[in-house]
Every structure is written in C-alpha cells, then in structure tokens.
A = this chain, B = another copy of it.
Amino acid sequence: MKSRLFTPGPTPVPEDVLLRLAAPLIHHRHPEFRALLERVQMNLRTVFQTREPVLTLTASGTGAMEACVVNLLSAGDTVITVNGGKFGKRWGEIASRYGVRVVECTIPWGDVVQPSQMEEVLRLHPGAKAVYLTQSETSTGAATDIRIMSEVIHTHSDALVCVDGISSIGAHELRFDAWGIDACITGSQKGLMIPPGLAFVALSAKARKAMEQASLPRFYFDLGVALAAAKKNDTPWTPAISLVAALDAALLHMIEEGMEEIWKRHRRLALGLRAGIEAMGLRLFSQKPSFSVTPVWIPESVSWQTLQSAFRSENGITVAGGQGEFAGRIFRIAHLGYYDDLDIIAVVAGLERALARCGFSVELGRGVSAAQRVLA
C-alpha cells in the first residue's frame, strides 16, 4: 500500500533530497564539505530571516533547546516559560534541571499566552534573564504571535527572547532580525524537509554577549566553540554529514520557492484542511491554530485506536495522536514541509473514509469538496 506521512516530524522528504542521502560521504574537513556547509549556513540565514549566524548541531530539537538554556544562563538565574503544551513545558524542565529558577505562565492546552499576561509576569519578575516561547506548540497546534510577544518583552524588560521554532520554521512567518529575537531553534525533520538528526540555533549579538557571562556547564552543546568553528565553515564535532548534504538540497528548494511563498502555501494548506474537517462535522482543538499542524477532536463515538487503524491499514496514512492529557482525545494532521494542495485533498479524503469505516456518519465527498473550494 502507498504510504503517506502527515505527522509533525518526521515530515516527507523530497525525492531528490532522499537521493542525496544515498551519495557516498564527503569527509567533513574536505574543502568540498566546507563549501557545502558555507552554502547551508548562508541559506539557513534566509530561512531564519537573519544576518546573524545560524549554527548546525547534530542532535534532535531537544538538544538545541538545551543549548539555548546552558549557553545563556547561570545557576540561580530566573527565566519565564509558557506552559501551554508538552514543548513549552519542556523549556521549564530543562532549565530546572540546571538549577535555573523557572517562572511558568500556565495556560490551558490549546491556548496561547496573552500580551497582558506576559506584561504582568515581567512586572513581577523584573530580573528575568530570558523568556522562552514556542511559536507553534506541536502538542496542541496553537500558534503564538512571536512578533507581538517579542515587542512586549523588549518593552518591559531586558530579558532575552528565545523561541522554539521547531515545528514552525519553514511554515510560519518568522523574522529573527526584524522581530528582535535573540535565540531561535528548529529541527531538521520539520519545515526543512529532511530526516531527523540535525538541529539549528540562531543567536543575536545580545545572546552571544550573554553567552560570555553564562556559567552553566556545557561541552557538546557549547555554542561558543560552535560559533568559532562556523566562522570557518566547520563544526566542533563530526557532523551528521549525509544530513547536511541533504539539507543543502532541501534548502535550494526553499530558496527557489521563496520564504514569503512558503508561508503563504502553508497558510493556504491549513485553511483548506480545516474547511474540509469542519465540513465533515468535526471540531478543531485550538482556537489559535498554527499553519503547521491541525489538531482535531476525535468524535465521542470513535476511539483513537480504531481511527488510527482505519487511517493506516485502509488508507496508508500516518497521522499523530494526542499528547499528555489529550492522548486518545485528539488527533493531529501535519501539513509542514513538502506538501501541496493535492496532498491536503488526499488526507481529507482519507479522513472521510477512515471516519466512515469507524461508523461515524459522514457524507463522502463533502469534506474534499469544501477543501477543494478553499484551496483553489
């Protein structure tokens, strides 16, 4: 059966990028690899919309999160995090593990933090060294307006603005320089359209200055040595060479399409999918849905196991389940990376069939028709 991934990482990899993975390796100190890494570093700046350095780490996204904690802080520092889902919560878990005092803005899953709430927290904790945000909270699909939050933070404090862009970069508008972001990370298996194994960190001049004072222990994730190496188109440790080569190919696709066009496409795909889903009588989970992933309430009459099995075994489609307290209650369809209009039509069609298979009353063709009208 033909297999289709609609998960928020890994996401589908373009066919020519897959073939790059199969090419014999170039040694990472060879001039050919340095030229490749130089091009990758340059194109990553376009993706992050920055003139600042963007570092390539061999790790999952969580490794890049840890790097943004241990390189910017010292034990006893206070930071502000937003816990409105699994990944926002993780910022606080990492910081606590290193002896950092964490002030958590807790919001219901699916919601986003409000500017007034952030202002209040900043007023109560004027010495906070950093605020850790999540642009697209993968576990809930909720999207935080980073431009506004960054403005609020800079207006009311001197804290560093650190953004998890893991499941948003390459889907959602993000302007590192223009929005005054100090540290922003992403992972390879999301909007960048390559397999997992690489993570990326952009750092502002202010963040690089903060690194000099930060005394938390670090070695593998020491961004000081990574910055020094990056200047010479090098990495401190052996990088995941084949993934960097694949990234080079994937970035060429992104540069060719253009960031504005990529953002527009993701918005269109998200709106088309949601029209299809709502036309079937299903309800969306988040009121502030991101353009990367759409979480949907599972109808009461249907179990997640049955739905997942109907997706997989009848239609070859893999979607993601709910996480945390929403495991079994929601499912998530990703549209992040290498997707086009017809992929959205296909997943809506698959969802109609899967629901029918589960005994949920659905008029076949109604969802695809609604999606088709919005997409076109």
Contacts and interface: CB of A to CB of B under 8 A. Distances in A.
A93 B225 CA distance: 14
A5 interface: yes
A315 interface: no
Interface stretch (A144-152, A216-224, A361-369): A216-224
Contact of A197 (B10, B12, B22, B58): B58
Interface in A1-47: 3, 5, 7, 9-10, 12-13, 18-19, 21-25, 27-28, 30
Given A58-B58, A98-B217, A99-B217, A187 B318 contact: no
B30 A24 contact: no
Contacts of A13: 24-25
Interface in A221-246: 221, 236-243
How many monomers of this chain does the complex have?
2
A132 to B, nearest CB: 14
Interface in A140-190: 187, 189
Nearest to A99: B217
Contacts of A216: 217
A149 B299 CA distance: 63
A196 interface: yes
A210 interface: no
A58 B59 contact: yes
Interface stretch (A60-68, A114-122, A264-272, A280-288): A60-68
Given A59-B220, A218-B97, A219-B66, A22 B19 contact: yes
Closest 8 CB pairs of A and B: A197-B240, A22-B22, A60-B237, A21-B21, A195-B242, A62-B237, A10-B25, A196-B238
27 contacts: A3-B24, A7-B27, A10-B28, A12-B25, A18-B21, A18-B24, A21-B21, A27-B318, A30-B318, A58-B196, A59-B220, A60-B239, A61-B238, A62-B237, A63-B220, A66-B220, A94-B219, A97-B218, A97-B219, A98-B219, A195-B240, A195-B241, A197-B197, A197-B243, A217-B217, A240-B243, A242-B243
